[in-house]
Amino acid sequence: SSFSISNPIAFHAEDGLGYKKLADFLLKLDKVNQIGAARLAPAFARVTMVAPKRRAIAKQVLQQTLDKKISSLLQEIVAPIVKSL
């Protein structure tokens, strides 16, 4: 997503707020545009390169996303990212 690319400091904020905001947006978008949500979700793949504390927060946020009712398209993208974290 442009948020994660153009504003990496906010996306990778220590408190995890950037991850939470994107995950919340993905959940909302998934309800009306599953393909759009699935196309934005790979932004989380870059989280594998950040500090362990931030990775743990992102993993928790993404696991919570998986625990909700989401499309199979979004699940196919998010599940492997969670496993990689």
- The string of pLDDT tens digits covering residues 10-60 is 888 999 999 999 999 999 999 999 999 999 999 999 898 899 999 999 999
> Of 7, 5, 38, 40, nearest to 22 (Cα)?
40
Q: How confident is the model at residue 66 (pLDDT cuts 50, 70, 90)?
A: very high
> pTM above 0.85?
yes
**Residues 1 and 43: beta-carbon distance below 8 Å:** yes
- Provide the domain count of the chain: 1
Residues 59, 20 contacting (CB under 8 angstroms): no
Report residue 1 CA to chain centroid gap: 10
The C-alpha atoms of residue 5 and residue 9 are separated, in whole angstroms, by 9
Residue numbers of the domain that contains 73: 2-84
Q: What is the radius of gyration, based on Cα positions, of the chain?
A: 12
